[in-house]
Structure 1
């Protein structure tokens, strides 16, 4: 069965993920992570991508972003991925692929899933056993949204602005969301949708996006499709 094209719909927030080949590290030290961030922020305006949030783990990176054109996301991911591989191979004296196949991406219903996706990114280092609490991980956007530092190139999404009327109110409200965390079901839906490329949202949202994309946006139901004609008996 042919694999589905990767999803990219202009004007919708997307969760994009890329993992190291066979689970190998894609970052060796702080210089590698700084290089990836530099590439990501420098290429975003040229590709037409708004970056909202991110996390860099040892063997993968994840971004929450909004493409302004249908080709913005693939242009940005390909540009960042290829440039970083050239840098990484040259710096560490290696050859060959670094990534585990194609990057993955999915569109999210903003009012239901955007902030949850941000929280999922912030909690990923804790789940990976890299730190004991989310705020201790330097290589993510959480510090930016807690007011601890300013990250060049990040655009807070509308859902974040709606958390409060002042920076302090928004930062406090977002800190509460991170402390509250996600349910097991929410975390699983985000991860599964991200890696499989199915749109995450309610039926009306998926149906609306389906009108903008020729690609199927949700998992097909199991079993044979219903017959369009009258069945006849062989008896």
Structure 2
């Protein structure tokens, strides 16, 4: 079966997930995380991609990125992935693949879901019961978005900047958001969108993106593989 084309557009945030093959660990020591982040920064600068937030878990990564063109995010992930696999295999005297196929991605409706995706990403270690608060997890952008650390690779999204008139007020407001757990409905929407590599947004947003791409960009809640029919079915609903 042919692969679905990615749903990627310029200047719209994208939630990206890449997992270790067979859920194997991708990071074993502090140097591994540091090498990954250094190459992420270099690749993002090279391909003009903004990094809004991230978390590096033991066996997968979550990134919130925004590119200035159609190919930027794919170029970043390809460059980063290949480099890190070479580093990892050399360091641990291994061969073969590290990642579980292609990275997954979900275009995010900023007005509706962006800050919730920020929360989803930076609260990952808390949901995994690794820490009680994101401040206790080292490999996360929380330390810049909600803490007092400067992380040079990050470029805050305008919606995050709108949380306050200055850095202190923004961080306070953001921490208040993190104190309120995401509902199961929101968690499921984010997970379903990323697992299917589809748009995270309401019908209006999906319609706008589908029109730009000239193909259906959302997902339908039905069983079976009906991709050839999904666009026609969706059109009947709007």
Same-fold call, TM > 0.5? yes
Query: Using the alignment, how far apart are the partners of 1:222 and 1:25 within structure 2?
Result: 33
Instruction: Map 1:5-24; keep pairs closer than 5 Å.
Output: 5-24=5-24
SS in 2 for 1:118: helix
TM-score normalised by length of structure 1: 0.92
The structural deviation recorded for 1:214 is: 3.7
The structural deviation recorded for 1:222 is: 4.1
Query: Using the alignment, how far apart are the partners of 1:77 and 1:151 within structure 2?
Result: 20
Count how many residue pairs are aligned between Structure 1 and Structure 2.
227
Indicate the residue corresponding to 2:117 in structure 1. Answer: 117
Indicate the residue corresponding to 1:66 in structure 2. Answer: 66
Q: Greater CA radius of gyration, 1 or 2?
A: 1
* Structure 1, gaps ≥5 residues long: 228-235
Instruction: Map 1:1-235; keep pairs closer than 5 Å.
Output: 1-220=1-220, 222=222
Query: Using the alignment, how far apart are the partners of 1:215 and 1:103 within structure 2?
Result: 21
The structural deviation recorded for 1:219 is: 1.8
Does structure 1 retain, via aligned residues, the 8 Å contact 2:135–2:147?
A: no
Q: Considering only aligned residues, what root-mean-square deviation do their CA atoms show, in Å?
A: 1.7
Query: Using the alignment, how far apart are the partners of 2:14 and 2:105 within structure 1?
Result: 6
Query: Using the alignment, how far apart are the partners of 1:148 and 1:133 within structure 2?
Result: 15
SS in 1 for 2:86: helix
SS in 1 for 2:78: helix
The structural deviation recorded for 1:8 is: 1.2
Does structure 1 retain, via aligned residues, the 8 Å contact 2:15–2:194?
A: yes
Mean Cα deviation higher: 129-138 or 159-168: 129-138
The structural deviation recorded for 1:220 is: 4.0
Instruction: Write out per-residue CA displacement over residues 171-208 of structure 1, whole angstroms, 9 at most, x where no aligned residue.
Output: 00000011112001111111111121110111111111
Indicate the residue corresponding to 1:232 in structure 2. Answer: none
Instruction: Write out per-residue CA displacement over residues 145-167 of structure 1, whole angstroms, 9 at most, x where no aligned residue.
Output: 12420101100001111101111
Instruction: Write out per-residue CA displacement over residues 25-78 of structure 1, whole angstroms, 9 at most, x where no aligned residue.
Output: 000111000000000001102112110000000000010010110011110111
Mean Cα deviation higher: 44-53 or 216-225: 216-225
TM-score normalised by length of structure 2: 0.91
* Structure 2, gaps ≥5 residues long: 234-238
Query: Using the alignment, how far apart are the partners of 2:56 and 2:151 within structure 1?
Result: 14
SS in 2 for 1:41: helix
Does structure 1 retain, via aligned residues, the 8 Å contact 2:17–2:60?
A: yes
Query: Using the alignment, how far apart are the partners of 2:215 and 2:78 within structure 1?
Result: 20
Query: Using the alignment, how far apart are the partners of 1:210 and 1:122 within structure 2?
Result: 29
The runs of at least 4 consecutive aligned structure 1 residues that moved more than 6 Å come to none
